[in-house]
Chains A and B, each alone.
Chain A
Amino acid sequence: MSTSPTPAAPPSSASLAGARTAPGITRLPQHTVEVVSDSGEGAQKCAQIFARVSARMGNGVWTVEIIPAEIQPPARTPPSASGNRIRIGTKPVTNWGDHADLVMAFNEQVLLHRHRLGALAEDAIILIEDMWATHDDPDIRKEWSDAMEEMSGRAYRFVHVPMEQQCLTIIDNPRRGKNMFALGCLAWIYFRDLEKIKALIAQEFGKKAPKVYEQNVALLELGHRWAEEHLDFRIDVPAAPSERPMVVMNGNQAVAIGGIAAGMDLCAMYPITPATSASHYLSDIFERFGGIVHQAEDEIAAIGVAVGASFAGKVAFTITSGPGLALKTEFIGLAVMTEVPLVIVDVQRGGPSTGLPTKVEQGDLLAAVYGQPGDAPHVVLAPATMEECFLCMTTARRIAEALRCVVIVLSDANLATGVQPFPRPELNEAWLAHPPDFAPVAEGTRPYEWDPVSGLSRRVLPGQPGGMFTATGLSHDESSHVGYTPDVHERGCVMRSRKLAAFQQMLKPPMVNGNESGDLLVVGWGSTLGAIEEAVDRARADGLSVSSIHLRFLSPLEPGLKAILQRFKKVMTVEINYSDDPAAPYITEENRRRGQLSWLLRANTLVDVDCWTRVPGEPLRPGQIYEAMCETIKGMQG
């Protein structure tokens, strides 16, 4: 982007600058901002409010957390960087974009971290706290100059901001207030509505501590005034307020509130990043809805409690991440075997093992689909947006109940912590689970009265006279009587599997984004939707023959895939999980380990599906995907 002035009328506030020339205003369809500080300095809060006010003003918004794994890592070190990227646009924003165009950095070390990751645009505007340049400590002054030297190769435009000095005029400890000053600066630059910001600050602090609220507002106004008096540029990303009422939240909030809207009222969980914030939110509000969050002693107990609760009545759910999903494996098998309906949300993070606890990956797909010993058919689905995080909970609950099966919802850290506005759901009482029916059943009613065609059967619940039976993880017949004979085991496997086939018949084929046939088809799933479609749009604008599909159901797979895939010369998945680079040493067509969705598609369609995957611990950038598409098409022509 350029910061040169464009002919646009300066808003009235700019004229207050008196003798100064009016700032140049650049009008842009979208812009990407990062706010980074040491952990604990509040960049997160600043950025979240900036994102929310942007959404409230009618801008498209997508945010991504920049977060260290520790609570208070050593200050002024690159890995300590904490904050957010916020991409705002006139139209809806579906991903975090390629680079940050403007950065608000609280010290040069956290900025350096972002620089080294290639997160900043060539010509990024960098507003930086300048106290470090003249600090009493010569080591810090040296760190500053070394950092500036390291970044000098880029065309960054640095704007020094005396945050500390300014904040000290209001508060004693600027570490606890710079974020509001920074927010004021950003508000001025981007024409954000100060009253709306104050309302959000009030929502955050107002009720608990009126004094804190007042101080924050004073800092906000100070930052706003300082920017007005000292900056010579403003950026205008016009808002196009939606006709429909909108809500704005992150994917974990959407999962939590979606779980309530689905009519579930028991969530059993054990703390695990990045899933926990969903449980925090639920813990805060669930009891008002007649629900509870049970924090179990471990991941295994969490799913155990959910299984017990579902066995005894309405469907319960559990929320976890990869390591927790691994621990829950045996119970998933048990729920499949006993046909206890259950919803499991896996907010994926980088793996294996502890991996990247705070960062995104789509590495749990095969574990979710095939991770259980024995044959354990169940449904796996993946929301692609914050809105789908909300809606899929009702879908999952209903499938679990209708099929008496386990449904795994694969979210990820990108969806979990990212914020996006979406049309306010029009709630429907029919989404809520029906109260269980405890009416007597005929003596001798069989608990697994499998329909021979579909494998479906009606649940009998404790409390129903006449229906007494013992659910068991052992191989069993329709009466739940244990049986080890070949026909009993064979029949149970067939019936449990048949449910999935019956369900798959009800699904619709995926929509193709772009032409129905062509050179390259990109297949994605989960949180990469926006980045993939933005890349496809760019490629198509360049005249490339590229289309994409995005799968929501991973088990069973959506119908019609083979036919769609066969209409393209080449098919490639784009995923955030590991695959071998075909050009790397030793890697051959035979031994190449591929992206997880590409394994599924190859096995299910016998189409030679390639993959382009990365595991950077951050969302994919549309520019990267675009380049991969261009390379792939070039390779096809070569």
Chain B
Amino acid sequence: MNEFGCSLLSCEGDEDREWTMDDYAGVLARWCPGCGDHAVLTAVERVLETEQLPPEQTVCVSGIGCASRFPHYLKTYGFHGIHGRALPVAMGVKLRRPELNVFVVMGDGDCCSIGAAHWIHTTRYNPDMVVLMLDNGVYGLTKNQTSPTSPRGLPSNTQPRGAFLPPMNPISATLGVSNASFVAQTGDWVPAHLYATILAAHRHRGFAFVRVLQRCPQYTTNLFDSAMRDPGLVELMVHPSGIMLPELDRIYKNQVRHDPADLHEAQRLANADGKIRLGVFYRNEELPVYEETRAVTSKSASEKVALLNKELDRHAV
């Protein structure tokens, strides 16, 4: 721990321990074979290892849905809550314990439908946490219902003649919320990009919203098929303060240099048709972070009693 070869902290446990990916593995993942969630889990475990985050200092919070099983498959602290409500729980954890590393995992129904209010408002609160929205454009766990991000025309059990509405654009919607501080998009079929994006999200100070594009091997099998086969349909947004992965240059020829500081350009790129864009749309570390704004000095029991007595004086008869 220090130059003298001994550590005063070593008696407290794992200060010297080097964490490996295996240390972060929870119970065996039960997602379908071929599900993108496996790739995200691996990427998150790699990020935890890279950052050497102690498992006990890390909390993964989720809602309900296939993606929300995530915390069970990690050996950190976890909270698998109720549908749509991962973000308020994560807010509570962060408000109480700002020192913990908080990761939130939601699906598209979880985040963009039943939890939409929390998605918008937590973006605005801007607590320091990583938020992964695993978007496969369908409700999987409840067996094939239309989600807010289902492509128009996609048949499902609730809209068997095809989705009636155009899908919502979660990137554009998040960018539209005041105090949004980090908005990125990646895809489960580009592991290096997935990892780099989650790493960048973790290193960002503030609410780091990452939409992970993925297919559901059961119900939206072909969702990104064409993009997987033809890298020409993908456009990488690259920038030194965003994501730069030279190893992808050979495959992904379509690249646009986009400075994540430029919110207007971010909105334009989020709304432009034709290409699937991966990278960081927007990043701003200067925005107020909720738990920092609300930080208070804690008081000892005796201080509290003294202050309470003072307060009771105001009500004294």
Interface residues of A (CB under 8 A from B): 55-56, 58, 203, 242, 245-249, 253, 257, 260-261, 263, 265-266, 268, 285, 287-292, 294, 296-298, 300-314, 316, 330-331, 334, 338, 421, 424-425, 427-429, 432, 440, 462-474, 481-482
Contacts and interface: CB of A to CB of B under 8 A. Distances in A.
A338 B13 CA distance: 28
Given A427-B308, A465-B14, A308 B93 contact: yes
A462 B298 CA distance: 19
B229 interface: no
A424 B314 CA distance: 11
Interface residues of B, number: 60
Contacts, number: 196
Nearest to B290: A294
Interface in B92-133: 92-97, 99-100, 117-118, 120-121
B89 A462 contact: no
B92 A468 contact: no
Contacts of B81: 304, 307, 334, 473
Interface stretch (B69-77, B210-218, B278-286): B69-77
Given A308-B93, A309-B92, A465-B56, A247 B72 contact: no
Nearest to A291: B296
B57 to A, nearest CB: 6
A163 B315 CA distance: 31
A462 B72 contact: no
Nearest to A265: B298
- Pick from A291, A297, A429, A466 the residue with the most CB of B within 10 Å: A297
B288 interface: no
A311 B79 contact: yes
Nearest to B90: A308
Given A301-B117, A311-B89, A470-B79, 16 more contacts: A247-B317, A287-B296, A290-B299, A298-B117, A304-B81, A305-B88, A305-B95, A308-B91, A308-B96, A310-B96, A312-B59, A334-B81, A425-B312, A462-B77, A463-B97, A470-B80
Contacts of B309: 427
30 contacts: A58-B317, A203-B314, A248-B315, A265-B298, A266-B92, A290-B296, A291-B296, A292-B95, A296-B88, A296-B121, A298-B117, A300-B85, A304-B81, A304-B87, A308-B91, A308-B95, A311-B93, A312-B97, A316-B96, A427-B305, A429-B305, A432-B305, A462-B56, A462-B77, A462-B93, A462-B100, A465-B14, A468-B75, A470-B74, A470-B79
A611 B41 CA distance: 58
Contacts of B317: 55-56, 58, 242, 245-248, 421
A257 B316 CA distance: 14
A141 to B, nearest CB: 45
B294 to A, nearest CB: 5
A260 B308 contact: yes
Contacts of A308: 61, 79, 88-96
B311 interface: yes
A440 B12 contact: yes
Contacts of B302: 429
B301 interface: yes
B142 interface: no
Interface in B141-183: none
B256 interface: no
Contact of B296 (A263, A292, A300, A330): A292
Contacts of B72: 470, 472, 482
Contact of B82 (A203, A440, A473): A473
A294 B294 contact: yes
Contacts of A481: 27
Contacts of B27: 481
Interface of A, secondary structure class, is mixed
B232 interface: no
A468 B73 CA distance: 12
A253 B312 CA distance: 11
A470 B78 contact: yes
B276 to A, nearest CB: 31
Nearest to A302: B88
B308 A462 contact: no
A9 to B, nearest CB: 27
A468 B80 contact: no
A628 B55 CA distance: 64
Contact of A260 (B118, B304, B315): B304
B130 to A, nearest CB: 16
A257 B308 contact: yes
B82 A330 contact: yes
List 6 tightest A-B contacts by C-beta distance, closest first: A308-B92, A304-B88, A470-B78, A297-B121, A308-B89, A309-B92
B95 A468 contact: no
A266 B297 contact: no
A296 B94 CA distance: 14
B26 interface: yes
B302 to A, nearest CB: 6
Nearest to A433: B301
Contacts of A246: 316-317
A298 B119 CA distance: 12
B245 interface: no
Given A312-B97, A472-B72, A289 B307 contact: yes
Contact of A307 (B54, B75, B92): B92
Contact of A466 (B56, B60, B64, B80): B56
- Pick from B89, B99, B120, B298 the residue with the most CB of A within 10 Å: B89
Interface in B46-62: 54-57, 59-61
A297 B117 contact: yes
Contacts of B13: 440, 465
B14 A312 contact: no
A462 B97 contact: yes
A289 B95 contact: no
B91 A304 contact: yes
Contacts of B55: 468
A58 B60 CA distance: 56
A309 B96 CA distance: 5
Contacts of B80: 470-474
